[in-house]
Structure 1
Amino acid sequence: MKRTILFLTFAIFTLLSSCGSGGKSEEATLREQVIAIHDEVMPKMGQLKSFEKEALHKAESLETSENPDEAKIEELKALAYDLDQAYDQMFAWMRTYTEGTDQEMTEEETMTFLDEQMITVKEVRDQINGVLDEAKEKLQ
């Protein structure tokens, strides 16, 4: 009788601990981390476009000056291009992420997808932060 009570107590404890609401799934945690990186850089999108316009404006001003500095003009145009590419990469990633989350996937496929998205969104973040740093240095 004591063994039965002990066994039932252990079984109930094991069942409750495995089914409890004690924590998030690995999938939910990874999904939150991916979105957190997105949320970190999304507010910088306006700054990308602002710097792009400024770089193009400065390049245009140099082109119309008496002694245009061709190297500086090309540098500013390249910077504007890089700013635009970083902007486009964020939205390309967002489309891919949204399309991927709309699909029916197994748990394993979902985790693989989220792992890949984590890598990609980190690359996008690094690209955005890098080109913004470069723009701040060259434009200010």
Structure 2
Amino acid sequence: MKIKYVFFTTITMVLFLSCKEEEKKSETLTQMKEVMAIHDEVMPKMGTIGKLVSELKPKVDSTEKGIAYDKAMRDLQAAHKSMMDWMKGFGDRFTSDEILNGAALTEQKQEWLNEEEKKVKSLKLQINNSIENAEILLE
């Protein structure tokens, strides 16, 4: 009877730990997908940024309005640079297997993913705000 109890307890613990590991992997995969979804949402806006910079550039001069155009143009360029820098940094931190296939992350990489999630959310705001401000200015 004692052997059955030890066996049952051992199997239960193994299953429990296995489920916890799967749950953790699932949460990481979901978080990675969310980060990539934000990237995929704002990446196409790089073309819009380029178009708006082209429209603003000839309007820059020393007048008050020209200075506003220059600021909007610089904000757009900064948003574009931030996107490129974020992608480089993200690619340096994670492998394609981790990004695309949900490969398990080390504790350090999980911390990095938490940081990258915050960064990409901030980046999204920067991109959307710079585009919105430029479009309003050009109306």
Question: Partners of 1:76 and 1:139 in 2: how far apart?
Answer: 8
Question: Partners of 1:55 and 1:139 in 2: how far apart?
Answer: 8
Equivalent residue letter for 2:28: E
1:25-74: per-residue Cα shift (whole Å, max 9, x none)?
A: 133232222212111111111001111111113x16xx5xxxxx711111
Question: Partners of 1:6 and 1:33 in 2: how far apart?
Answer: 43
Return the offset for 1:13. 4.7
| 1:40 matched to 2:41 | yes
> TM-score, normalized by length of structure 2?
0.76
Give the aligned partner of residue 101 of structure 1: 94
The DSSP-based 3-state class of the residue aligned with 2:43 is helix
> TM-score, normalized by length of structure 1?
0.76
Identity of aligned residues (%): 28
Equivalent residue letter for 2:54: K
Which has the greater radius of gyration?
1
* Structure 2 residue runs without a partner (length 5+): 96-104
| 1:90 matched to 2:83 | yes
Alignment of 1:1-140 (within 5 A): 1=1, 5=4, 8-9=7-8, 11-19=10-18, 23=23, 25=25, 26-57=27-58, 59=59, 70-102=63-95, 107-140=106-139
* Structure 1 residue runs without a partner (length 5+): 64-68
Equivalent residue letter for 2:107: E
RMSD: 2.4
